[in-house]
């Protein structure tokens, strides 16, 4: 008798589910960013399997509150994390991803610790019997948003908090910025701001022109700060906190002489690689922009400051569960230091665009109060500069994008942007 014939056959796609479990463990137990955990997966795992694992883990993180609410009636006590993650993966596949029930249940059972295999099997069979109807009647927007974020967003945006939360429920489309003269791929949607949009799940490396460096991935909202800076050929411009380099690429493509400053050596290396693929020039400086001193003042500066990134949850659902309320004050303090440093690097009459990809007012609107003491005068953004986003212009003249804007098109990241002129 063949020895292998006596062993139970493992369900197909098990390595993918194991990788998804490892991703969830990294985010929810070790508090590591999802993208960082994805890069740390074994190299033997094929790219297609990594992508599938990311898709499963991202769906669990997007709908974590709803998934746990569905599971709760079937659990007498809290299972350990490995069993909990197996249940979450199985539930996501059954209720949200359309995986055949036999495959979803069998794989989840195999993922679970042996002592909890029976529990996982029993619970998921019940979920499979009732199906997606289990999700009906749940307040998904509230359940899938950490309470501290809901409270903060309700305070800042009022009833719009629900639309913001609902915009996080599905995967974001793929937005691209193109070099001047490059042609977008067939089927790409031209957005009012100049970006082009492709459906969620599009493999960027398979898009014509990728290898030739014709474009780069950049959310439509993330492309706005560089456009608002209005770079001109020959200007000396600094891009502070520059990695991964999308905004540096925009400035360089406009013909500016760009100095890209990045504190983290690994991120600086990634910036260098991205610019090399795009064949765009920039001086890359590995330094802390809060203390770095340039040889001469700059004509213009783009400061996309580090932040809690709560405006990017539609693309990075792990952010919702990694960040805490206390992180906001820490980020805001760093932003203040960077804004002060940037003001000191700017030539008289020079332009500065300050941006954060956060929905927290402390990391955006609050910084407007600091500008006058730094010699910075707010330069209001006009509707003509942001076609299709007139509602995003604040009474102050700054700009606030939200995930629910352009909802019919797939939304956009939440950003705060303000443009200043040095007196």
Task: Show which residues are catalytic.
Answer: 357
Which residue in the block uniquely carries the two structure tokens 């995930």?
Answer: 403
- Which residues, listed in sequence order, are joined to residue 177 by a DSSP beta bridge? 216
> What does the block give as tokens for 362?
């402390």
Length of the chain: 423
Residues 6+ apart with CB under 8 A from 354: 303, 305, 339, 342, 367, 417, 418, 419, 420
How many C-beta atoms surround the C-beta of residue 322 within 10 A?
18
CA atoms within a 13 Å half-sphere pointing along the CA-CB vector of 346? 28
Distances in Å between the Cα of 190 and the Cα atoms of 177, 197, 220, 280, 402 are 11, 7, 10, 23, 19
SS3 category, 285: strand
Distances in Å between the Cα of 109 and the Cα atoms of 49, 86, 89 are 19, 7, 10
Cα separation, 148 vs 75, whole angstroms: 26
Query: DSSP string of 127-139?
Result: HHHHGGGGGTT--
CA atoms within a 13 Å half-sphere pointing along the CA-CB vector of 394? 21
Q: Are 397 and 327 in contact (CB under 8 A)?
A: no
Q: Are 414 and 346 in contact (CB under 8 A)?
A: no
**Which is nearest to 278 in space by CA: 215, 213, 217?**
213
> What does the block give as tokens for 236?
């000396």
């Amino acid at each position: 008798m063949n020895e292998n014939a006596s062993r139970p056959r493992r369900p197909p796609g098990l390595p993918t589910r194991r990788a998804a479990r490892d991703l969830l463990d990294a985010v929810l137990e070790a508090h590591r960013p999802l993208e960082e955990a994805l890069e740390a997966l074994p190299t033997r795992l094929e790219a297609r399997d990594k992508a599938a694992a990311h898709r499963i883990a991202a769906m669990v993180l997007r709908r974590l509150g709803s998934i746990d609410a569905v599971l709760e009636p079937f659990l007498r006590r809290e299972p350990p994390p490995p069993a909990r993650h197996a249940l979450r993966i199985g539930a996501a596949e059954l209720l949200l991803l359309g995986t055949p029930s036999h495959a979803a249940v069998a794989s989840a059972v195999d993922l679970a610790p042996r002592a909890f295999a029976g529990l996982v099997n029993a619970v998921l069979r019940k979920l499979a019997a009732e199906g997606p109807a289990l999700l009906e009647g749940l307040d998904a927007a509230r359940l899938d948003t950490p309470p501290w974020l809901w409270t903060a967003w309700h305070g800042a945006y009022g009833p719009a908090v629900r639309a913001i939360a609902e915009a996080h429920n599905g995967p974001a489309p793929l937005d691209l910025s193109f070099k001047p003269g490059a042609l977008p791929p067939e089927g790409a949607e031209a957005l009012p701001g100049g970006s082009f949009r492709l459906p969620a799940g599009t493999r960027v490396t398979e898009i014509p022109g990728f290898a030739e460096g014709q474009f780069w991935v950049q959310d439509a909202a993330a492309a706005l700060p560089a456009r608002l800076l209005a770079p001109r050929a020959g200007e000396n411009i600094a891009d502070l906190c520059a990695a991964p380099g999308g905004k540096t690429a925009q400035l360089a493509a406009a013909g500016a002489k760009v100095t890209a400053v990045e504190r983290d050596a690994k991120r600086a290396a990634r910036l260098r690689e991205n610019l090399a693929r795009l064949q765009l020039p920039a001086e890359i400086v590995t330094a802390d922009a809060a203390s770095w001193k340039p040889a001469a003042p700059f004509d213009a500066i783009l400061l996309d400051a580090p932040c809690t990134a709560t405006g990017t949850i539609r693309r990075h659902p792990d952010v919702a569960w990694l960040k805490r309320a206390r992180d906001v004050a820490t980020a805001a303090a760093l932003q203040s230091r960077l804004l002060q440093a940037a003001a000191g690097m700017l030539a008289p009459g020079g332009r500065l665009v300050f941006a954060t990809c956060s929905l927290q007012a402390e990391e955006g609107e609050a910084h407007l109060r600091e500008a006058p003491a730094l010699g910075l005068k707010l330069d209001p953004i006009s509707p003509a500069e942001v076609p299709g986003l007139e509602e995003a212009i604040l009474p102050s003249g700054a700009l606030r994008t939200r995930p629910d804007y352009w909802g019919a098109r797939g939304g956009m990241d939440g950003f705060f942007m303000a443009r200043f002129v040095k007196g």
